[in-house]
Amino acid sequence: MHPTITADHPSDCPICGMKLVEVKQAASAQSESSPAAERRVLFYRSPMDPAQTSNEPRKDEMGMDYLPVYEDEIQGGGSETVSGLATVNIDPTRQQLIGLRTAPATTGNVAGSWQTVGRVQVDPTRVRKMNVKVEGYVERMYVDFVGQSVRKGEPLFSLYSPSLLAAENEYLLALQTKESLASRGAPAENGEVLFAAARRKLELWDVPTAEIERLHRTRESSQSLTFLSPIAGAVTAKNVVEGARVNPGDTPYEITDLETVWVMADAYESDLPQVRVGMPAAFTVRAYAERPFTAEVAFIDPIMDSRTKTAKIHLHLRNPEGILKPEMIGEVTLEGESHVGLRIPVDAVIRSGELDVVFLALGNGKFEPRIIQTGARSGDQIEVIAGLTEGQEVVMRANFLVDSESQLRSSLAAIGGR
């Protein structure tokens, strides 16, 4: 990182602590026997950013000299394997300057577990909308705000409805007619049809069975009806206030059971082969970091997101205490089966369009772009399915600088070949 620091024996840099790079005498002799004056300089470039170039020697903002780019370095610099990238040569001094590091491809266990981000969502199968099938006016509210917890059968609101009053009176008239005909010895079906139709009308209006039985027993109609919660849960929508008019089809309340929730997680295309319905998983949120929640994969979306190139994984999660709130974000760990495979550091992989690319260290400062096929990710390691063999060295630090220079070399090679 500090080329001005030199020593006549192996030692560490007193500024950054990195080991000094040996400069062999043979390289100097070669430079003297083949002076730079005999080579044609095309341009000069920044030692830290290859995209910054100059037609004349100059210094960058850090005071470092721009490096010459010779014509013979560009010729034949294109890569036949990766479009838009070229093999590059980087001398040891510059490797130290940019912090370039390599790591070998090794064989080892590729863990079947991997992590992704998940978001708590409402289970859509546990949402109930309280709709109204008769017109009327809200007489009294028993549940006043969104988020309020309710029990199954708990009153939500009372509705005054002239239509309901008329329907109950029709029921009483049909009941009276049925009983009158029966007392005279007339056929039972003569009054039964009218009575059954009147009762069915009340049932279709969602009048509770208890209310119909009260009406039958007391023979007194009611001008209002109290609507009860169909399930236990939390109010997630409230669309009425006292005195408001309600029409058939309106939805005054929405009740959601949060004892079971979904966690929506993203899975990249390379991860999908590891995911299956019923697969165990763990979900952790920051609020309860010491308490992972157990879950399982309930569903995998059949369509990929065109923007993120991911598919949604639906995790089924029990939440009896209600401590997981919709829209909470946490970490999902999916537990799969481990296997033996070839691995490299995740940082070594560069995403180039639809391809995964690494820079292979060929020795003597030469680095070649190589397309690879990746598999499962395990921590800071990623599986290599194709493109590398065990022991090959790949660039894992400063690889984006190498990629930038490779693109520049490829472009110049294309121009030079015209």
Per-residue pLDDT of the chain in tens (418 residues, 90 and over written 9): 555 667 666 777 776 666 766 655 444 444 444 444 466 776 777 776 666 777 788 888 888 888 887 665 554 444 445 656 677 777 888 778 777 888 899 988 777 677 889 999 999 999 999 889 999 999 999 999 999 999 999 999 999 999 989 999 999 999 888 888 877 776 667 678 888 999 999 989 888 888 899 999 999 988 888 999 999 999 999 999 999 999 999 999 999 999 999 999 998 877 787 788 988 899 999 988 888 899 999 999 999 988 888 899 999 999 988 899 999 999 998 877 777 889 888 888 887 666 788 888 888 888 888 888 887 777 778 888 888 899 999 888 765 666 666 665 555 554 444 4
Domain co-membership, 301 together with 190: no
Domain co-membership, 367 together with 415: yes
pTM: 0.57
Domain co-membership, 382 together with 398: yes
Name the residue range of residue 6's domain.
1-33
Domain co-membership, 136 together with 212: yes
Domain co-membership, 167 together with 196: yes
Domain co-membership, 248 together with 263: no
The answer to whether the beta carbons of residues 285 and 332 sit under 8 Å apart is: no
DSSP 239-307: ---TT-EE-TT---EEEE--SEEEEEEEEETTTGGG--TT-EEEEEEGGGTT-PEEEEEEEE-SS--TT
Domain co-membership, 344 together with 354: yes
Q: How far is Cα 239 from Cα 156, in angstroms, rounded to an integer?
A: 12
Cα–Cα nearest to 350, from 408, 402, 294: 402
CA angle 110, 112, 115 (to 5 degrees): 105
Domain co-membership, 222 together with 288: no
Last residue of a domain, one of 218, 252, 286: 252
233-238 and 253-256: which strand pairing?
A: antiparallel
Last residue of a domain, one of 337, 361, 390: 337
Classify residue 346 by its DSSP letter. G
Domain co-membership, 203 together with 281: no
Domain co-membership, 184 together with 223: yes
Domain co-membership, 119 together with 267: yes
**Which segments of 326-406 are extended strands (E)?**
329-334, 339-345, 350-352, 355-363, 366-378, 381-386, 393-397
Provide the residue type at 253 as one letter: Y
- 3-class secondary structure, 373: strand
CA angle 301, 302, 306 (to 5 degrees): 85
Torsion sign across C-alpha atoms 5, 10, 14, 16: positive
